[in-house]
Structure 1
Amino acid sequence: MMERKLVFGVAVGVAVGACVVAAVVVGRRVKSRSKWKRVVRVLEEFEVAGDTPVRRLRQVVDAMAVEMHAGLASEGGSKLKMLLTYVDNLPNGSEKGTFYALDLGGTNFRVLRVHLGGQRSLSLEHDVERQPIPEHLMTGTSEDLFDFIASSLKDFVEKADDPDQLVARRKELGFTFSFPVKHASASSGVLIKWTKGFSIEDMVGQDAAESLQQAIDRIGLDMRVSVLINDTLGTLAVGHYQDPDTVAAVIIGTGTNACYLERTDAIIKCQGLLTTSGSMVINMEWGNFWTSHLPRTTYDIDLDVDSPNPNEQGFEKMISGMYLGDIVRRVILRISQESDVLGPASTRLLMPFILRTPSMAAMHEDSSPDLTEVARTLEDILEITDTPLKVRKLVVKICDIVTRRAARLAAAGIVGILKKIGRDGSNGIAGGRSRTDIKLRRTVAIEGSLYTSYTMFREYLHEALVEILGEETAPHVILKATEDGSGIGAALLAASYSS
């Protein structure tokens, strides 16, 4: 009898223990499911807030065209500056000779020599040399900086292998100066302010091309600064040289900008403007574009508030490489605050811009079965270790949402330009063109690592272009990747403007 009681007691104890264990397991599962639901909710809210259906993209297209009109009508009439470049003569392939370019846009500068044979070519023979700028020259005087550059330029010219290049005739130089400038002509422009670590006070308000020309003259080099441009205009020059149907150029890299060829009679803020071609290149500064139709999320608002330039460059902050990685970081941070699915909280997640866009792109395009690149990036950069596969998949999804939105908005911006000039296959806001224009081919030159090196970004951009334009028109819009507009493009424009 005692034995039966003992066995019964043991059985009851085991049953109770099993129930307790089962309750704990079920409790953990319920808790885990609850955590995961919170994570999924964060992701879903972000995806909905940043959604870009074609209806919304067409609203962005219309807003871009309207803002372009406003920026051409009056100074300060739009967030788009719509700056006159005074360049009305783009290279067409007939240029002959050897031309030079100087590309100054950061802590290094480049000098180039381009040889043109009078026939349009997809690959241009050129020599290039890169030089670092000594740190003290970035905060010294303008004379010291440009004397150093002119001296390097002279050394480069004198290294020419071809004796014919050293004949006593004036050489022509295109100057790419990637700082904010107000142009007075195609070959002159006043520096508005320095960026990128430069702080040379006596240069602000001075003509950048003239300062370089004076340094070139002081050193005894027979060379003329023919044009002063930015990298976007150089990209348009390369595109137009290779394809005469090129009507616009877009840079989508660390930053973003666009320029295009506009009729001079449409530039209302500068009435009476005359050009031999009847058109002029407009530098849009489209990174500053804004409309309420842009799908702005709480993460975009927080990023803007934390940035050095709040309420500026709104479009750029949603589509350029400088910011995409940080938007992803902010979403991951929010998830870590909502749940511990990422493990112990990482202080690295609190560091702005620690996740760069190339790393984000590598995670997005990770095709390994267990997403090893995602795991490596999370561990090496954000110090998030031992992530389960479903969490890695979640991170890839975040990258996808951010990239897809950026690419689709960039596509809408491109179509906005085409709409403004009546080349989008509709009658366009500019009017004056018929439906027969739909068959006209039009090319947009594109540069920048986001487009050229990030396959998913490029595919999403092309997909959106077809959605917006429709299958009848889209094949007639060619997006053409070009190379080195800031270098080769400057030399090509020097050739166009050579006397």
Structure 2
Amino acid sequence: MGKVGLGLAVGWAAATCAIAAVIVGRRVRRRREWRRVMAVVEELEEACSTPVGRLRQVVDAMAVEMHAGLASEGGSKLKMLITFVDRLPNGSEKDTYYALDLGGTYFRVLRVQLGGDRSGILRHDVERQPIPQHLMTSTSEDLFDFIASSLQEFVQKEEGVSEASTVKKRELGFTFSFPVKQTSVSSGILIKWTKGFAIEDMVGRDVSECLQQAMSKKGLNMRVAALVNDTVGTMALGHYHDKDTVAAVIIGTGTNACYWERADAIIKCQGLLTTSGGMVINMEWGNFWSTHLPRTSYDIELDVDSPNPNDQGFEKMISGMYLGDIVRRVILRMSQEADIFGPVSPKLSEPFILRTPLMAAMHEDNSSDLREVARILNEVLGIPDVPLKVRKLVVKVCDVVTQRAARLAAAGTVGILKKIGRDGRGGVTSGRIKGGSHSKMRRTAVAIEGGLYTSYSMFREYMNEAMTEILGEDISPYVILKITEDGSGIGAALLAATYSSPGVANVQLL
């Protein structure tokens, strides 16, 4: 071999070695990056861990906070609001009742016909209307005049008359899903607006009175018989169908719960007199907090960035408003740790761009190539051409966040049952019915509503599993989670039926 040939051979060998070194270097770098990404996921999984022992600690903490909230105003993160609802529908209600559901940028009007004698709901009609944007910041008179006009048209159409005033007096249930200080079963003072409303002259006024005045101006022969929030309406509807219903839980965009409490346990209202000896308590459980909750760095960042830091801690870990954004924050962190998604997409820094229904769609993608995951990452988060193994990792993140949320929701629900002695553990109020030398568990139903539970099958599965784990296999068959749809509408009409006589609201504060 001549000198030229030898030089070429040496050069070729050197180039080959260099190329090999680059390839090996890239592989080593990719392995290191993949390990860093896996470390992010493993750290998340560990931080979100909810073994049954931890869930039982959350159960105990929920029960303790409930006691504290009933003992004194401000004694707990849980507001434990008195609703003045001391009786629930039982199936004997008869006649036609209306409901108005106002809780966001839309409102609904319903007409419900009840058969009595447990013949059930014979018919219900619903109409949904948007609230014009300018009315959300106008005056209370403008807002309620618009609502009353829509209600008048609905009544005339459904009753088949030209004038609503010619119809016999009707009772109305009013679901008003904004912060209210209840003063009776049919009245309450608006504390503050949320959800984009900002009508200043309304704050501090009686909500029902504003609606009543607007209806009178329109000649509507109608009375507000019950003012409730959606959780109480859900419990009313649940109890109407199943007399063993003792609580209601809503897990949707937001979350809340209410339950039936003994009047003598509501210590902060000494001398509370009710016809039934009990009352529905609106817990406002979204604000529950405990050191036993498995909080991560992503939860802390989300809370700091939110409009209400240090508030609604439980809601931010379990409700549909926030789960998608927690997943977004984890994906952003993974993207910053390594280039497995390519260059960091600017869309990953946009809060709430990944809505929870999209997260659920990725989580429940059953296709072999996870094409729905790829589509959402590309179209929503601006991350194209994601390898299959990375898509699988994204599904894993969705699973971890969802599982934690569902299991915490289960723990909160069992906390309510523990407070009222329906968890089957110890003592005469253990949820057992005594009988001779034997005792058996009392059947307990919890009405549950909200898209996170009703429409997200993995969430529902995880929550049901956790209920069984916490209660135990002997007790869990006696506790039923019953999907109860449209408590905010039909439930309000049922409560209007329950309190249809003006003299029926017998709750007194002495």
1:84-130, Cα deviation, whole Å (9 max, x unpaired): 00001110111000000011111121111000001436765101111
1:493 equivalent to 2:492? Answer no
In structure 2, C-alpha distance between the alignment counterparts of 1:377 and 1:29, rounded to whole Å: 28
Q: Which runs of 5+ in 1 are unaligned?
A: none
Distance 2:452 2:431 in 1: 33
TM alignment of 1:25-424, pairs within 5 A: 25-120=23-118, 125-161=123-159, 168-424=167-423
Deviation at 1:137, TM superposition (A): 1.8
* 8 A contact 1:160–1:166 mirrored in 2: no
Kindly provide the amino acid, as one letter, of the partner of residue 91 in structure 2. Answer: G
Query: How far apart in 2 are the matches of 1:136 and 1:454?
Result: 35
What secondary structure does 2:336 align onto? Answer: helix
Match 2:468 to one of 449, 466, 473: 466
> What is residue 447 of structure 1 aligned with on the other side?
449
Report the secondary structure of 1:184's partner residue. strand
**1:133 positional shift:** 1.7
Counterpart CA distance in 1 for 2:277 and 2:346 is 58
**Distance 1:303-1:438 versus aligned 2 partners, 3 A rule:** farther
> In the alignment, residue 314 of structure 1 is paired with which amino acid?
G
**Equivalent residue of 1:269, what SS?**
coil
Distance 1:166 1:471, change over 3 A: farther
Distance (whole Å) between structure 2 residues aligned to residue 98 and residue 167 of structure 1: 15
Distance 1:448 1:434 in 2: 30
Deviations 1:355-382 (A, max 9, x none): 0000000000001111100110000011
Percent of aligned pairs sharing the same letter: 73
**Which secondary structure state, in structure 2, belongs to the residue aligned with residue 321 of structure 1?**
coil
Match in the other structure for 1:475:
477
Contact 2:432-2:442 at 8 Å conserved across structures: no
> Which amino acid is 1:321 matched to?
G
- Secondary structure in 1 aligned to 2:129? strand
Q: Deviations over 1:4-61 (max 9, x none)?
A: x776665555444433332222111111100000000111111111111101000000
Q: What is the alpha-carbon distance in structure 2 between the residues aligned to residue 155 and residue 104 of structure 1?
A: 17
The question of 1:21 aligning with 2:19 is answered yes
**Structure 1 length normalisation: TM-score?**
0.96
- Distance in 2 between residues matched to 1:114 and 1:443, nearest whole Å: 24
Residue type at the aligned position of 1:476:
Y
* 8 Å CA contact retained: 2:73, 2:79: yes
Letter in 2 for 1:218: K
Letter in 2 for 1:292: T
Alpha-carbon distance in structure 2 between the residues aligned to 1:468 and 1:127: 40
Task: Please tell me the residue identity of whatever aligns with 1:471.
Answer: E
Find the residue that maps to 1:265 and give its secondary structure.
Answer: helix
Counterpart Cα distance in 1 of 2:119 and 2:468: 29
Q: Is the 8 A contact 2:165 2:221 kept in 1?
A: no
Counterpart CA distance in 2 for 1:336 and 1:432 is 50
- Determine if contact 1:95/1:495 at 8 Å carries over to the other structure: yes
CA-to-aligned-CA distance 1:449-473 (integer Å, 9 cap, x gap): 0000000000000011111000011
TM-score scaled to structure 2, two decimals?
0.94
User: C-alpha offsets along residues 471-495 of structure 1, whole Å, 9 cap, x if unaligned?
Assistant: 0111111000011111101000001
SS in 2 for 1:212: helix
> Which deviations, in whole Å up to 9, do the C-alpha atoms of 1:211-240 show, x marking residues without a partner?
111111222211110000000011001100
CA distance in 2, matches of 1:432, 1:127: 41
How big is the shift at 1:201?
A: 1.1
Q: Is the 8 A contact 1:424 1:438 kept in 2?
A: no
Q: Does the CA-based 8 Å contact 2:90-2:239 persist in structure 1?
A: yes
Cα distance in 1 for partners of 2:308, 2:477 equals 38
Q: Give yes or no for contact 1:425–1:438 (8 Å, CA) kept in 2.
A: no
Write the distance in 2 (CA, Å) between the matches of 1:456 and 1:121.
Answer: 35
Q: Which amino acid aligns with 2:384?
A: T
Q: Amino acid of the residue matched to residue 96 of structure 2?
A: T
Contact 2:432 2:441 in 1 (8 A): no
SS at match of 1:406: helix
Cα distance in 2 for residues equivalent to 1:384 and 1:294? 32
Which amino acid in the other structure matches residue 343 of structure 2?
P
Deviations along 1:412-431, one digit per CA (max 9) or x if unpaired, are 00000000000011127x95
Aligned 8 A contact 1:426 1:435 in 2 = no
Kindly provide the amino acid, as one letter, of the partner of residue 382 in structure 1: L
Report the Cα distance in structure 1 between the residues aligned to 2:314 and 2:204, rounded to whole angstroms.
Answer: 28
Answer whether contact 2:113 2:121 (CA < 8 A) is retained.
no
Partner AA of 2:288 in structure 1: F
Read off the aligned partner of 2:463 and give its amino acid letter. Answer: L
Unmatched 5+ stretches in structure 2: 502-510
Inter-partner Cα distance in structure 2 for 1:247 and 1:478: 11
- Partners of 1:79 and 1:289 within 8 A in 2: yes
Distance 1:358 1:438 in 2: 41
Q: For residue 43 of structure 2, what is the amino acid of its counterpart?
A: E
Aligned length: 495
In the alignment, is the contact (CA less than 8 A) between 2:431 and 2:441 conserved in 1? no
- 8 Å contact from structure 2 (residues 406, 459) kept in 1: yes
Q: Distance in 1 between matches of 2:254 and 2:159?
A: 37
Tell me how far apart the structure 1 counterparts of residues 470 and 216 of structure 2 sit (CA, whole Å): 52
Q: Which amino acid aligns with 2:362?
A: M
SS at match of 2:321: helix
1:255-285 CA-to-partner distances (Å, cap 9, x unmatched) read: 0000000000100000111111111000000
